[in-house]
A and B are shown apart, each in its own frame.
Chain A
Amino acid sequence: MKALEKLDSHLKTRLPDLNKAKEGHKIIGYSAGGYLPEELVLACDAIPICFIQAGNNAILRDAGAYICRWFDPFWRSQIGYLTSGKDPYYNIVDLIVVPITDNHVRAFSNTLGYYTPEVESFVFGVPHVKDKIALDYYLKGINRLKKKLEDFTGIEITDYRLKQSIKLCNRERELFREISLMRKSDDFAVDSKDFVALNHGSFIADKEIMIDILELFIQEIKDSSPLPKDDPRILFTGSTLVRGDSKVMGIIEDSSGAIVMEEFAEGIRPYWGKVKTDGYLMANLAESYFMDRICPGWFRPGTERLNYLVKLAKEYNTAGLIWYQLMYRESYKVESYFFPGILKKETGLPMLVLESEYDAMETGPMKTRIETFIETIRR
């Protein structure tokens, strides 16, 4: 598809392009999780880059010099990339922003602060409950971030600038929604791997180019033939699905499973929300990014997300759910024990739990389990 080729071509030159852009713009790196409003970065004429590379077990050895093994491998990967410089995006950014969600992210933030003090950084916290006081706390955090970005770039984030960037990001979210919703139909042509590739690309790509790519993708999809209907429709969910971590998706595809929805806290852009462009814009950002967003597994209680999964499973007419969590991410591990009962009761659907530490040795057992699961749910 031309859209994907265009994305590929854009990403191939992204680093040299960013190097050139550095002359007039600040590059703001930020950690995954979807709690940094990119609008703020764009509004001060800076470039947001999200660190979403992982999937390579070798980088965990680099991280082992800074942290013990018992943390989520995605966050250990970030520690490895940060300290080794093996992800070039870490080397190009001027400031790293870390929205702290749970203790795995905090381990990364500690490493950043203690081992690489020469790297300018900014942290703010994301509460784990949803209520008015938590919303206020998040709003205070992003207001501090706004001030930091203004000071750092020398550009005031006016309402006008912020509104323009909100409109741009809203457009991107709208396009992702449009693509995603196509999969509710039986006759859909969106391959999940392509959708995920677009998502991952959007964390690195130039925002306006990305919007062009998404628009082109939608045009192409509308002209494409539907994917085979016989494959069991799968809801794919978990903590983290990032660039470079394609093993499970590959096995599902090879086993003739059709992923029709991906629900992940890290690595998939929260695209269901739309930020309002009237009134107090910072409050609108907080409302959309914190309150309206379906919360990840490290929120308590996790009921909102679990109910949402049940809803997705029904609305997308799925035959089963594959729950893909990373080792030692305890919030997801604990939920994976009691959620199958809820899912079964509400939908009658089965659930397969997979766990990874980005180890190639996992492939064989995973293949057996996924193949068996898909054979079982094939109708």
Chain B
Amino acid sequence: MGNYYDELFKLCGFEDEEIKKERHRIEASFERLGIGPEDMDTADSWVRQNHDVSLEGVRKLLGAWLKELIDLVLAKDEGKKIVYFGFPAIIGPGLMLSASSEEVFVSAPDMVLDHTMGQIFNKLTPILEAGETNGLPQGHALCSLWQAKIGGIAKGMIPVPDLALASSYYCDMGSKADDLVNALYGVPIAYIDGVMDSKWGEYPKYLPERVHYLGAQINQALEKAEKILNIKIATDAWERSQKDSGPFRANLVKLVELMRADPVPISICELELLEALSGSSTGRGIREGIKAMEILLIELEKRVKAGMGVTKKGAPRVMVRLGHTSDPRVTRLIEDVGLAVPLTFILGSWGGVKVKPKGNYNTPGEVIADYEMTGGYYYGTEAQIKFYEKAIELMKLDGFIAQYLYNCRPVATISHAQKKYLEEKTGLPVLALEIDNFDSRAYSAASLRTKVETFAEMLKAKKSTNSQ
């Protein structure tokens, strides 16, 4: 016998059997989340409005996020030892923990809430408000992703974790908010510290001590995790985690190839579901994501062959940093004004542009640290900007929308320098766009429209002139 949520779950790629099998878990998690029959119409229309549900791969991706949500909400009840990490994060330690014990659930819960309570149920605002009243007030440019995490815990929607892996190598806010969770709920913290202290102009070089330090911090955090969680990290955990997530990366490379097509075959809103999943889940979500990608790639190949796309053929092509995690309307705006988005920072760095790690290291921490230094994101501002520059070797572009998150200091440092650098180095126009990528209340699609629309008109005019 069906239930009120069946249609929504089918819309999100669940098979009948899966719904049947998950029924008790769905209902238990919905109760915790405050989701009932009255929410289904909104969710149905919200998903249809924001996502291309004609693609099975997209539906399956939405389903992967729902599965991650259910696993997250019920993790404590199901006897799991829970580890939360911040986003963005060096995912290696989380993957290793996840690969070492089936009893451990490792996730970025804020991202899960954004993609489900935000993108599927359109019920994120009360969670954000709970975060605001529990230590992270509005009006201070504090991270809204963290507001979602604190709000989710405060409302009892997601469990209090057994351990927090603090991303002290990147974000001051995240580690300090972990201190807040510790102060409020007594959650132990394993800090993974690092220092982004390379001088401007040094990238891609870096001092070996950066790798040694970050690597030693990762190793130390893993040791602490072993003690707190009472598990043993398998000696081959790193290799296994790489093997498990390998298909995801391989599929991203294939996806980059497909995104070269004109018109681009899929919206950035759907790509965001993919990219974010790989930085948020270490368990079922990522495994389901890989399956969804495989379906999606076949569907997109067909679209490319048929010349189908989400914008007009010949539309100006721009690279963006990333899509909105909770409100796809903000992302969709770029395509709505007639720009094609074939590439994001994440897609470019994981699926395309490659910089090889520099050294031979023996410990898992150092291997991960070395990899992350070359990856750019945790190296520093210069590396991030240069990744955009390199992207034009990967994909034909007409411009950049260089979003910077006003409430994320490590990203906001690029606010002005990125535009100047890219315009000078590539000759392409750049729109520096201030956003909040996790909360659309203050930075809504409507509030950004004038800027994006004007930029789009300029790019169209330029492209038209150039083609004459």
Please report the C-alpha to C-alpha distance between residue A109 and residue B382 in the assembled complex, in whole angstroms: 11
User: Does A334 belong to the interface (CB within 8 Å)?
Assistant: yes
B41 at the interface (CB under 8 A from A): no
With known contacts A67-B416, A68-B404, A106-B381, A127–B179 Cβ distance under 8 A: no
A1 at the interface (CB under 8 A from B): no
Q: Are B172 and A127 in contact, CB atoms less than 8 angstroms apart?
A: no
* Interface bits A22-34 vs B (CB < 8 Å: 1, else 0): 0000000000000
Check B200–A125 contact: CB distance below 8 A.
no
A126 contacts partner chain B, Cβ-Cβ < 8 Å: yes
Q: Does any Cβ of B come within 8 Å of A338's Cβ?
A: yes
CA A110 – CA B381 in complex, angstroms? 8
Q: Is A112's CB under 8 angstroms from B172's CB? A: no
A242 to B306, CA, bound (A): 65
**In the complex, which residues of chain B have a beta carbon less than 8 angstroms from the beta carbon of A117?**
200-201
B178 at the interface (CB under 8 A from A): yes
Contact B434 A106 (CB under 8 A): no
Give the nearest-CB partner of B182 in chain A: A301
Contact partner of B201 (CB less than 8 A), chosen from A65, A66, A113, A298, is: A113
Report if A312 contacts B (CB, 8 A): no
Q: Which stretch in B274-282, B405-413, B457-465 binds the other chain?
A: B405-413
- Tally of chain A residues near chain B (CB < 8 A): 52
A119-B216 Cα distance, complex, nearest whole Å: 34
Stretch in A41-49, A97-105, A194-202 touching the partner: A97-105
B431 vs chain A, min Cβ distance (A)? 14
B141 near A106: Cβ-Cβ < 8 Å: no
Q: How far is A114 from B434 in the complex, measured between Cα atoms in Å?
A: 21
Q: Are A333 and B413 in contact (CB under 8 A)?
A: no
In B357-415, the 8 Å CB interface with A consists of 380-382, 404, 406-407, 409-410, 412-413, 415
Question: How many cross-chain pairs have Cβ atoms below 8 Å apart between A and B?
Answer: 156
Query: In chain A, residues 52-108, which have Cβ atoms closer than 8 Å to a Cβ of chain B?
Result: 65-68, 70-71, 100, 102-104, 106-107
Report if B228 contacts A (CB, 8 A): no
B122 within 8 A of A: no
**Which residues of the other chain, A, contact B184 by a CB distance below 8 angstroms?**
338
Interface string of A113-134 (1 = CB under 8 A from B): 1110100011111111101011
Check if B415 sits within 8 Å of A115, measured CB to CB.
no
Known: A103-B413, A107-B413, A300-B179. A68 touches B434 (CB 8 A): yes
Contacts of B406 in A (CB 8 A): 68, 70
Among the listed A112, A124, A334, A338, which residue makes an inter-chain contact with B173, where contact means beta carbons less than 8 Å apart? A334
Q: Which residues of B contact A249 (CB under 8 A)?
A: none
A328 to B137, CA, bound (A): 12
Asked if residues B197 and A65 are in contact (CB atoms below 8 Å), the reply is no
A residues whose Cβ falls under 8 Å from a Cβ of B: 65-68, 70-71, 100, 102-104, 106-107, 109-115, 117, 121-129, 131, 133-134, 136-137, 140-141, 297-298, 300-302, 327-328, 330-331, 333-335, 337-338, 342, 355
Cβ contacts A to B, 17 pairs, < 8 Å: A68-B412, A68-B434, A103-B171, A106-B196, A106-B410, A110-B380, A113-B200, A115-B417, A123-B199, A134-B213, A137-B195, A298-B172, A298-B176, A328-B140, A335-B179, A338-B179, A338-B180
